[in-house]
Amino acid sequence: MHQVELDHSEEPIRLFKSNFLEFFTHISPITVLILWLPVIFYALYRGFIAFQVNNTVGYVAVGYFGGLVLWTLAEYVLHRFLFHFKPKTKKQERLAFLFHGVHHAQPKVKTRLVMPPALAIPLALVFYFLFWLIFVLVFKIPAWVGPTFAGFLTGYLIYDMMHYATHHFPMRKGIWKKIKRFHMQHHYKYPDQLFGVSSPLWDYIFATMPKSSK
């Protein structure tokens, strides 16, 4: 009953007593685009500069597409194991609510549908370091860092925009209708399944797709 009341509340749940901290828990999709699109273009530019080969466009395209695919896996893993981790203490419950619980409590609050920079920037730095570690230190192919990271960030932007759309646009036709239905089922019927937002691929692979949705 409490969940239903929260779902229909127009006033966003306050997460922090400090007005300064509370300000950073609300964000517009436009802000996300303004923040990350320049980073994506710069990463692509670095990729074109780094590849000193005849088929530079081909190599950059492969890296970019690979980054997109990697994002869909990261999206699934983050949503399933980080955003939906099972808290065991009061502090963990508080952290879980801050990370993702508030969105499930109030899924229609527009300013909490995309990832705030306070969380997105540290995560992006972690993934960039992983790409650098793999491509530079392990495989000695640093040129792949730029296009792969650009594709990865593009996947993240697609995820954020699609997440916003599933909550606030009709999406009544084709694949868009199916994506919206899957995410609404995650919220209201299967909270421990259907973790993919931009793609249901990994839900099929890791068997978190409900039988009634297949």
Q: Residue 179: count other Cβ atoms within 10 Å of its Cβ.
A: 20
Residue 56 CA to residue 207 CA, distance in Å, equals 38
Residue 3 pLDDT class (50, 70, 90 cuts): very low
Specify the pLDDT at position 5: 42
Residue holding tokens 């530019």? 45
Residue pair 196/72 in contact (Cβ under 8 Å)? The answer is yes
1 pLDDT exceeds 80? no
Averaged pLDDT of the chain? 92
HSE, CB side, 13 Å, CA atoms: give it for residue 93: 3
Mind listing the pLDDT tens digit for each residue in 26-48? 999 999 999 999 999 999 999 99
169 pLDDT exceeds 60? yes
Widest pairwise Cα distance in the chain: 63
- Taking residues 87-104, what's their average pLDDT? 93
Specify the pLDDT at position 8: 55
Specify the pLDDT at position 10: 65
HSE, CB side, 13 Å, CA atoms: give it for residue 146: 19
Give 13's DSSP letter: P
Specify the pLDDT at position 9: 62
Residue holding tokens 């000695």? 140
Residue ranges covered by each domain of the chain: 2-10+23-213
Residue 85 CA to residue 74 CA, distance in Å, equals 15
113 pLDDT exceeds 70? yes
More confident residue, 110 or 54: 110
Residue pair 148/68 in contact (Cβ under 8 Å)? The answer is no
110, burial (CB in 10 Å: exposed 0-12, middle 13-18, buried 19+): middle
Mind listing the pLDDT tens digit for each residue in 19-29? 999 999 999 99
Helices then strands, counting H and E runs in the chain, come out as: 10, 0
189-196 long-range contacts, CB within 8 A, separation 24+: 191/84, 191/104, 192/84, 195/75, 195/76, 195/79, 195/80, 195/84, 196/72, 196/75, 196/76, 196/79
